[in-house]
């Protein structure tokens, strides 16, 4: 209640419901499991939780394929469980953000089922992106767009269903930027617009504090759906052979662009902003501060900032930061651009290192290709591929986290990172479930490695994830060391570092602080140092150890520091005098 704008400095913890904690023993995490573990979030010291989708879904894309936006999938529980979870989170002072998936529905959604039956030209088809094909008999797709999960972004109706009920030969195609089971909605359609406003109200009425908007940059497509000579491929741009200007080595331009964005006629069209203005108005009619967070792979940062103008969303994930290489100059550029562009619109900057779509940062930062600056947002890793340097990844990962948590604005954590959880980089192929794995012909590992059920108790079956010992994806043996109970009991653990940093961040009000580079704090070119309020954050990226000024009072460090000497890949927080 009141105009607290709580999100401005919030640390927001992403729960991936199927992998957080299992309350009913079926091997898939659920809302009961979340309720049982809410105290962990208090112990850690975060301000809010964001739940990836738990709605009714055939789970073709782990719930990002929604069949009913107003129901909970039985896998996860029911609406009463949700209400209990939200109430208990609120009672602990935690805000609750839910995930909204407006770019596409599941093909199980009643609207799509109706559209298939109703046939070409019907009002039901107008809610989606149906088009006639090219070629003599419409045997070619309407344009050359490729799905992000691989293969054409179009499927012809009669490739999957028999002719429509009235027997008319149905050769229309429908657009799906992701899986064939995720048909894209038509955001020019008034019913679509109205229904999503009503879905927002449905969850706002149940007390949610905000929404994370999936593929927020993709809902509106360029008029006429023109062919594109680029390749939609990957979000990090590394596979976008056709899209020239995009850099891929994690070296940002002055404007912060480093290949962390999507481009093409299916992304970042100006029309999306009308939708967000209308949603902003819906949120305004509610008591208390509610927020919208854009998942938008948009560059440059000045384009991303348009999503967080005063009358639009409150936050947008800063993926340019996530895809920047481990390098003082590169990070300096992207941090400056991030803060500068958000200052223009008055929105808080966000920081994120891991989520359910990317290789976890402790693993990512240990991968040979990443260390060499060849690839900043690799798809998952599997046994046949170069394995990470685990020790280096963890060291850099902890330093990166400490550096991130000192910055002003809002930070996002992905469940498990507080334990130093790595990706499962040797998961056998037969367990993999990411639809992109099959669609890309098993050429890339896909995103399962970062989605493995969490470890809570080192000596229990399934490391305490599930009482039955079942897990929907296999856990690696290395999970014993990152089990919550071990981490909590061990001095100097990753968990203790997160806990300490979050406490200090609050004490020194860093989330609402201001950022200033300190060029001359130490005499070393490969050091990045900034001051936020009365805390100096210094990271050493160079080979040479750095001696801190005499009498420096170290508040926190990513690894123990002896004699005020900061080694390579270490971040320290120092009390400013």
Give me the residues that bind ligand TEU (CB under 6 A), please: 61, 64, 101, 148, 178, 214-215, 234-235, 295, 297, 356-357, 436
Instruction: Count other C-beta atoms under 10 Å from residue 286's C-beta.
Output: 15
What does DSSP say about strands 315-316 and 291-294: parallel, antiparallel, or unpaired? parallel
- Token pair listed for 266: 């299916």
Q: How far is CA 44 from CA 38, 260, 503, 520, in A?
A: 10, 30, 9, 34
∠451-453-458 over CA atoms, to 5°? 140
Helices (H), 287-425: 301-304, 319-322, 328-345, 361-364, 368-371, 390-405
Residue (261 or 511) nearer to ligand TEU, CB:
261
181 phi, psi to nearest 5 deg = -85, 10
CB of 290 to ligand TEU, least distance (A): 21
CB of 356 to ligand TEU, least distance (A): 6
CB of 51 to ligand TEU, least distance (A): 13
CB of 327 to ligand TEU, least distance (A): 23
CB of 366 to ligand TEU, least distance (A): 21
Question: What secondary structure, in 3-state letters, does 132-159 show?
Answer: CCECCCCCECCCCCECCCCCECEEEHHH
Place of tokens 């959880």: 421
Which among 123, 118, 122 is positioned nearest to 161, based on CA atoms?
Answer: 118
CB of 215 to ligand TEU, least distance (A): 5
Note whether 455 and 419 are within 8 A (CB).
Answer: yes
User: Annotated active-site positions, please?
Assistant: 214, 295
Residue (106 or 540) nearer to ligand TEU, CB:
106
Tell me how far apart the alpha carbons of residues 481 and 493 are, in angstroms, rounded to a whole number: 10
Tell me how far apart the alpha carbons of residues 397 and 395 are, in angstroms, rounded to a whole number: 5
What does DSSP say about strands 570-575 and 55-56: parallel, antiparallel, or unpaired? unpaired
Tell me how far apart the alpha carbons of residues 290 and 7 are, in angstroms, rounded to a whole number: 9
CB of 14 to ligand TEU, least distance (A): 10
Tell me how far apart the alpha carbons of residues 277 and 161 are, in angstroms, rounded to a whole number: 38
Residue (280 or 451) nearer to ligand TEU, CB:
451
Residue (323 or 539) nearer to ligand TEU, CB:
323
- Token pair listed for 200: 């927002």
Tell me how far apart the alpha carbons of residues 420 and 437 are, in angstroms, rounded to a whole number: 25
Nearest-10 Cα torsion for 438, 258, 275, 106: 10
Residue (355 or 401) nearer to ligand TEU, CB:
355
Residue (473 or 546) nearer to ligand TEU, CB:
473
The residue with its CB nearest to ligand TEU is: 64
Q: How far is CA 470 from CA 27, 52, 354, 466, in A?
A: 4, 21, 25, 6
Residue (214 or 312) nearer to ligand TEU, CB:
214
Indicate if the alpha-carbon torsion angle 250, 256, 260, 263 is positive or negative. negative
CB of 467 to ligand TEU, least distance (A): 28
Residue (234 or 334) nearer to ligand TEU, CB:
234
Residue (235 or 335) nearer to ligand TEU, CB:
235
CB of 38 to ligand TEU, least distance (A): 24
Q: How far is CA 16 from CA 13, 269, 355, 430, in A?
A: 10, 29, 9, 22
- Token pair listed for 231: 């390749």
């Amino acid at each position: 209640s009141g105009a607290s704008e709580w999100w401005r400095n919030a640390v927001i913890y992403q729960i991936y419901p199927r992998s957080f904690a299992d309350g009913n023993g079926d091997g898939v995490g659920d809302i009961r499991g979340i309720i049982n573990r809410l105290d962990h979030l208090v112990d850690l010291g975060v301000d809010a939780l964001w739940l990836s989708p738990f709605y009714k879904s055939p789970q073709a894309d782990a719930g990002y394929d929604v069949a009913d936006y107003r129901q909970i999938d039985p896998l996860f529980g029911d609406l009463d469980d949700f209400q209990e979870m939200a109430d208990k989170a609120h009672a602990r002072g935690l805000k609750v953000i839910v995930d909204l998936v407006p770019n596409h529905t599941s093909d199980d959604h009643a609207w799509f089922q109706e559209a298939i039956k109703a046939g070409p030209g019907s009002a039901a088809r107008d809610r989606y992106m149906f088009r006639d094909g090219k070629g003599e008999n419409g045997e070619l797709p309407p344009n050359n767009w490729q799905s992000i999960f691989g293969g054409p972004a179009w499927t012809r109706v009669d490739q999957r269903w028999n002719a429509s009920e009235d027997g008319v030969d149905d050769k229309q195609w429908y657009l799906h930027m992701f899986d064939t089971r995720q048909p894209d909605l038509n955001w020019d359609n008034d019913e679509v617009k109205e229904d999503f406003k009503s879905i927002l109200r449905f969850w706002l009425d149940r007390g949610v504090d905000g929404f994370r908007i999936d593929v927020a940059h993709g809902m509106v497509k360029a008029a006429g759906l023109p062919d594109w000579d680029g390749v939609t491929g990957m979000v990090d741009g590394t596979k976008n052979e056709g899209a020239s200007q995009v850099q891929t080595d994690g070296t940002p331009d002055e404007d912060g662009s480093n290949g962390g964005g999507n481009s093409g006629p299916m992304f970042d069209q100006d029309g999306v902003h009308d939708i967000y203005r209308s949603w902003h108005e819906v949120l305004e009619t509610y008591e208390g501060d509610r927020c919208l967070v854009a998942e938008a792979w948009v560059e440059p940062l000045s384009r991303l900032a348009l999503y967080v103008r005063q009358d639009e969303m409150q936050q947008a994930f800063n993926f340019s930061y996530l895809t920047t290489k481990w390098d003082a100059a590169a990070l300096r550029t992207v941090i400056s651009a991030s803060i500068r562009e958000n200052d223009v619109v008055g929105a808080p900057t966000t920081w994120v290192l891991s989520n359910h779509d990317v290789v976890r940062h402790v693993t990512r930062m240990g991968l040979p290709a990443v260390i060499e600056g060849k690839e900043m947002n690799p798809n998952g890793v599997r046994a046949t591929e170069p394995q990470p340097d685990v020790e280096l990844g963890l060291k850099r990962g902890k330093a990166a986290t400490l550096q991130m948590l000192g910055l002003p604005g809002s930070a996002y954590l992905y469940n498990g990172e507080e334990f130093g959880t790595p990706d499962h980089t040797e998961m056998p192929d037969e367990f993999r479930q990411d639809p992109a794995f099959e669609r890309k012909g098993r050429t890339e590992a896909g995103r399962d490695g970062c989605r493995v059920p969490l470890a809570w108790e080192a000596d229990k079956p399934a490391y305490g994830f599930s009482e039955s010992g079942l897990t929907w994806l296999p856990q690696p043996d290395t999970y014993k060391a990152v089990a919550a109970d071990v981490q909590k009991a061990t001095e100097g653990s990753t968990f203790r570092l997160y806990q300490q940093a979050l406490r200090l961040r609050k004490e020194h009000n860093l989330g609402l602080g201001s950022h200033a580079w300190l060029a001359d704090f130490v005499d070393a070119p490969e050091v990045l140092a900034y001051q936020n309020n009365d805390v100096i954050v210094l990271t050493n990226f160079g080979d040479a150890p750095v001696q801190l000024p005499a009498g420096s009072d170290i508040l926190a460090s990513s690894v123990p520091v002896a004699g005020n000497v900061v080694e390579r890949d270490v971040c320290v927080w120092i009390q400013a005098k």
